[in-house]
Amino acid sequence: MPSSTPASSTVSLRTPWQTAAGTAALSEVGRVRGRSADRGLLRNRGAAVGAVVLILLLGITIAAPMLTSYDPIEQSLRERLEPPSQLHPLGTDNFGRDILSRILYGARISLRVGFVSVGIAAAIGLTLGLTAGYYGGRVDDVVMRLMDVLLAFPGILLALLVVAVLGSSLTNLMIAVGVGNIPPFTRLVRGSVLAARGNVYVEAARVLGCRDRRIMWRHILPNIAAPLIVFATLGVAGAILTGAALSFLGLGVQPPEPEWGIMLAEGRGYLRGYWWVATFPGFAIVLATLAINMLGDGLRDAFDPRLRRS
């Protein structure tokens, strides 16, 4: 018996995202949102200043050998504790090493600690957060109880524990700082996934037969990326501070490497008579973290439409 259903009904059953017009419309919406976020970021003067300073710092890490002729490790005891001068613009430390060259080369280590440690936290936190938020149930309980245990330790204390177990080195410092940032990253990703997994596009992907892994990484993750980018950007500043603190305590990068935290530790005994030994490394830490925080705040304002309208 022929069906009485009109032929057009088969077309009406197709959802907008399954049509070429629907896909084009969604793509256009994404482009419009992206352009709006870009304009919001460019209008934020603080974010622009932070981005420029961060780019300059990244450039310094590459061009450090061309910006100074002094070896950051070589000692010259005849020139120890010299004040800022034309020969040594930022003075010398207690071993006669040029402070400017040590700050320039130290930017390589501090920025590497910041970016690599956040990368470690993001890689592990993304995987755990996506899995816990998407599947829920027992998987969510196990992951979040583990995060609760890690959160019971302050981040710096957890990093101290990792360094105590693995030993003091640059690689172990990055691992330690990264492990300390895993719990908050995991909780943020999980919360974002819980809010996103009930959306229409997720149900559509399931109806179309997409596997769970594809839904999580190709559909959910791009739609929750904005807060993760902001959190990761701000996390770099925190990681630089934590890395400098561990090196200051003697549990991170070891002397004579030109690391900002080590320079602070070596200069703290000379604050009264030779202020430049600790002041300039401290200023470098403040400048780097402030620039990254300003950029992170600008990204938050640009990605959040409610803040752009206010």
Name the pLDDT band for 209 (thresholds 50, 70, 90).
Answer: confident
Name the pLDDT band for 164 (thresholds 50, 70, 90).
Answer: confident
Give the three-class secondary structure for 1.
coil
Q: Is residue 260 part of a domain?
A: yes
Q: How far is CA 218 from CA 84, 188, 223, 225, in A?
A: 54, 18, 9, 11
Q: Is residue 71 part of a domain?
A: no
Q: Of the ranges 9-23, 74-88, 170-184, which one carries the lowest mean pLDDT score?
A: 9-23
Residue 91's nearest CA partner among 298, 302, 284, 277 is 277
CA-CA distance, 146 to 189, in Å (whole number)? 15
| Residue 40: per-residue pLDDT | 55
| Residue 15: per-residue pLDDT | 45
Ranges of beta strands (E only) in the chain are: none
Enter the tokens of residue 301.
């304002």
Question: Measured over all CA atoms, what is the biggest interatomic distance in the chain, rounded to whole angstroms?
Answer: 105
**Whether the predicted pLDDT of 260 surpasses 90:** yes
| Residue 231: per-residue pLDDT | 92
Q: Are 30 and 272 in contact (CB under 8 A)?
A: no
Enter the tokens of residue 215.
């839904």
The radius of gyration of the chain's CA atoms, rounded to the nearest angstrom, is 25
**Whether the predicted pLDDT of 134 surpasses 80:** yes
Nearest 5 degrees, angle CA 89-CA 95-CA 96?
35
Give the three-class secondary structure for 98.
strand
Mean pLDDT of the chain: 83
Residue 180's nearest CA partner among 149, 152, 150 is 150
Mean of the pLDDT values across residues 119-145? 93
Whether cis (ω within 30° of 0) applies to the bond prior to 255 is no
Number of CB atoms found within 10 A of residue 223's CB: 15
Question: Which of 306 and 176 is assigned the larger pLDDT?
Answer: 176
Name the pLDDT band for 302 (thresholds 50, 70, 90).
Answer: confident
| Residue 278: per-residue pLDDT | 93
Q: Is residue 107 part of a domain?
A: yes
Q: Is residue 148 part of a domain?
A: yes
* Tens digits of residue pLDDT in 65-101: 898 889 999 998 899 999 999 999 999 999 999 999 9
CATH code, domain with 202: 1.10.3720.10
Q: Is residue 142 part of a domain?
A: yes
Name the pLDDT band for 12 (thresholds 50, 70, 90).
Answer: very low
Q: What is the domain extent for residue 303?
A: 53-66+88-309
Name the pLDDT band for 13 (thresholds 50, 70, 90).
Answer: very low
Mean of the pLDDT values across residues 266-281? 91
Question: Which of 239 and 40 is assigned the larger pLDDT?
Answer: 239
Distance of CA 24 to the CA centre of its chain: 33
Name the pLDDT band for 19 (thresholds 50, 70, 90).
Answer: very low
Q: Is residue 232 part of a domain?
A: yes
| DSSP letter assigned to residue 254 | P
Enter the tokens of residue 235.
């996390």
Q: Is residue 83 part of a domain?
A: no
| Residue 39: per-residue pLDDT | 57
Q: Are 261 and 248 in contact (CB under 8 A)?
A: yes
Q: Is residue 228 part of a domain?
A: yes
Nearest 5 degrees, angle CA 193-CA 214-CA 131?
40
Number of domains in the chain: 1
Q: Are 91 and 85 in contact (CB under 8 A)?
A: yes
* Tens digits of residue pLDDT in 141-157: 999 999 999 888 887 88
